[in-house]
Amino acid sequence: MGSVTFFLLATALVVSALTVVVHPNPVKSAMALVATLFLLAVEFVFLGAHMIAALQVIVYAGAIMVLFLFVIMLLNLSDEEAEARRRGRALFRIGAWIGGGVLAAELAALFLRVPFPAPAAPPAGYGGAESVATALFVDYALPFELTSILLLIAVIGTVVLAQRRAS
Amino acid sequence: MLDQYLGVIITFGFAAVIVGIMCGASMILGVHHPGPVKQQVFECGNPPTGPARGRFSVRFYLVAILFIVFDVEVVFLYPWAIVFRRLGVPGLVEMVVFIGVLAAGLAYVWKKGALAWD
Amino acid sequence: MWADAAIAAVKSLVMLLLALNLTVLLLWVERKGSALIQDRIGANRANIFGGILPFNLGIVNTLIADPIKMFTKEDVIPAGADKLLHFFGPFLAVFPVLVTFAAVPFGDVLVIGGREINLQVAELNVGILYVLAMSGLSVYGVVLGGWATNSRWSLLGAIRGSAQMISYEIAMGLGLIGAILVFGTLDLQAIARAQGATIWGVIPAWGIIYQPLGFLIFLVAGIAETKRVPFDLPEGESELTSGYFTEYSGSKQATYMMSDFAEIVVVSALATTLFFGAWQVPYLARDGFHFPGGFALALPQVVVVVMQVASFVLKVLILCCFQILVRWSLPRYRYDQLMDLGWKTLLPLALANVLITAIVIVLAG
């Protein structure tokens, strides 16, 4: 039962991820990405990582994708403009197809050649809120503090960029 | 392990059916008499002019970025709040530093007037 | 397996019907309540109890006639609109809100035939995060509704609405951190059970006693999330006609209207669970009442469960009515005031609340 649901989910995940790439409408692309990130969270649930699943939805599907949509709407490229940007990029397209093809071939080779061992049973409480918290605040306290600096830099960078535009 | 999510999956199913019926009811039950005037977008009676999807203020974009930064901060607070009693004073110090740095960020944004709407 | 699934399905249906009925009931409370506040009669057209009661309750209007009217109206989609996204706008405004109820406990355990049934659709150990994650997704309902219709009022309303929702989402999340600090868990049923204790044997240990400021922050942010007066700028009918659902009609528009009320119910349910003792009745344990002073009253288990569920529904209803009272009492904020309240008042207050709570917990040991 577990593997059937997994493959159903994985198929949906791949389909929505492909939709992100191939759909011509940017807003629909973004919504497909929301679906992809949500399905990824469901996969985390299957791995027993409940905390990560919830945070995945809150941060990626709920916060970062809102920014993506804002940017799409902020630019609001009209169809003519978008078409003009797309034209004359045949070389890029061919390059992208070749690059994507090579990556897909590599992945396929990897899956066919490398044996996947059966996963060991996770320890009790794995992926729950407590284990994540212990790892974060006891084992990796310094990286956690450094995250705040990273976030601070993001805040300052945003303000500087926005204010330069405004003036 | 997945037993606890059984209820969630079932609720998703029920909710999708209920909301789907609610959204689609008019498409099936309602009449359909489309017309050029009826299908015009509403602009207080005048025919709409210009493209509807104009560009808008950079401030909204700023709010979205600030939202992400502080959302990530809040996300760190949830696991911290659960194990806080076990962490004790070191946990408090860790979080005071973390919140302090981000409060400095908030103060900077405030001071720079990025939160001011005119 | 199948027995579990059947029980889960029954619980899920009960919870969803409870939520939907509360939502529809609120529509009636809103109509008649606002009429009462403004000294009008309110909805009074369709009436079947007119001959029996000395006054017109207007129940038929709101509960039966209005939905039928809305559902059989024409579904007008503007010429430049994207049909698929036009459908998903209202869908995504209500669906994420409804599914949050899966994690909200509406009673303790019910024992039927030796089988213990936990009165909560899904026992999630990350319950609060699940509720916040799902309700956070309803912002797409607003954004898509505004973008899909190719109308400038809709788009402006959608931008305003989404910026407002994300701004207050932070204060809402931070307002809950204090309560999580106190209870030390994200499991909503565990939080509900913890509130069955008493302080000094007399005061019920409800969250509001420990977290008055947290509750206030959560409630204000929650009301802002519902996008109703005094925070109704995304709709602002004097400027944007109807905001993000200007171009909606028939049942889709009804769905959008319902999303506001569904959000009110969610905010009230979450506030009840975290701050007002969830389904707890003061001094009521599984085997009956245990009043302070040693007086006890044994009750059959079914009676206890019924009282618990009734207590939960009653508390939620009171908080809902309070929000409707707020909506009909206060004038609308200006957009800069709205953003100031969110970022410059609630956010620092919530951060301070978290730190103060943490310090008090450390000092208290």
Rounded-to-integer distance, Cα C331 and Cα B63, Å:
24
Residues of C in contact with A28 (CB under 8 A): 82, 84-85
**How far does the CA of residue C32 sit from the closest CA of chain A (Å)?**
36
State the DSSP H helix or E strand holding residue C195, giving kind and residue range, or none if neither. Answer: none
Q: Is residue B57 part of a domain?
A: no
- Within an 8 Å CB–CB cutoff, is residue A61 touching chain C? yes
* Arithmetic mean of pLDDT over chain C: 85
Query: At residue C38, what is the residue type?
Result: Q
Find, in chain A, the residue whose alpha carbon is nearest to that of B109: A159
Q: Is residue B111 part of a domain?
A: yes
Which whole-number Å values give the CA distances from B77 to A132, B81, C8, C133, in the listed order?
Answer: 12, 6, 32, 15
Q: Do C126 and A54 touch (CB under 8 A)?
A: yes
* Number of domains making up chain B: 1
In tens, the pLDDT along C157-215 reads 888 888 888 889 999 999 999 999 999 888 899 899 888 888 887 888 888 888 899 99
Rounded-to-integer distance, Cα C215 and Cα C209, Å:
10
Query: At residue A97, what is the residue type?
Result: W
Q: Is residue A120 part of a domain?
A: no
Average pLDDT over residues A33-45: 91
Q: Do A129 and B79 touch (CB under 8 A)?
A: yes
Q: Decide if pLDDT at C273 tops 90.
A: yes
- Within an 8 Å CB–CB cutoff, is residue B2 touching chain C? no
In tens, the pLDDT along C32-69 reads 888 888 888 777 666 666 556 656 666 666 677 778 88
Instruction: Check if the beta carbon of residue C227 is closer than 8 Å to that of residue C235.
Output: yes
Range with lowest mean pLDDT among A55-64, C234-243, C256-265: C234-243
Instruction: Check if the beta carbon of residue B70 is closer than 8 Å to that of residue A88.
Output: no
Domain that includes residue A66, residue range:
1-76
Q: Is residue A82 part of a domain?
A: no
Instruction: Check if the beta carbon of residue C281 is closer than 8 Å to that of residue C196.
Output: no
Q: List B residues 24-53 in contact with C (Cβ-Cβ < 8 A).
A: 24-27, 29-34, 36, 38-44, 48, 52-53
Residues A58 and A93 in one domain: no
Residues of A in contact with C122 (CB under 8 A): none
Q: Which of C129, C143, C169 sits opposite A69 (nearest CB)?
A: C143
Q: Is residue B40 part of a domain?
A: no
- Within an 8 Å CB–CB cutoff, is residue B65 touching chain C? no
Q: Is residue A1 part of a domain?
A: yes
Phi, psi of A23 (to 5 degrees): -70, 130
Beta strands in A12-151 (DSSP E): none
Q: Do B53 and A159 touch (CB under 8 A)?
A: no
Q: Is residue B48 part of a domain?
A: no
Q: Is residue B86 part of a domain?
A: yes
Q: Is residue A57 part of a domain?
A: yes
Q: Decide if pLDDT at A1 tops 60.
A: no
**How far does the CA of residue A51 sit from the closest CA of chain C (Å)?**
6
Give A117's DSSP letter. P
* Number of domains making up chain A: 3
Residues A65 and A6 in one domain: yes
Predicted local distance difference test score (pLDDT) of residue C96? 92
Q: Are strands C203-204 and C198-199 parallel, antiparallel or unpaired?
A: antiparallel
In tens, the pLDDT along C62-113 reads 677 778 888 888 888 888 788 888 888 899 999 999 999 988 998 888 888 7
Rounded-to-integer distance, Cα C140 and Cα C194, Å:
35
Measured in whole angstroms, the distance separating CA C11 from the mean position of its chain's CA atoms is: 19
Domain that includes residue B83, residue range:
64-118
Phi-psi region at C47: left, alpha or beta (left = phi > 0; alpha = psi -120 to 50): beta
Q: Is residue B33 part of a domain?
A: no
Residues A104 and A133 in one domain: no
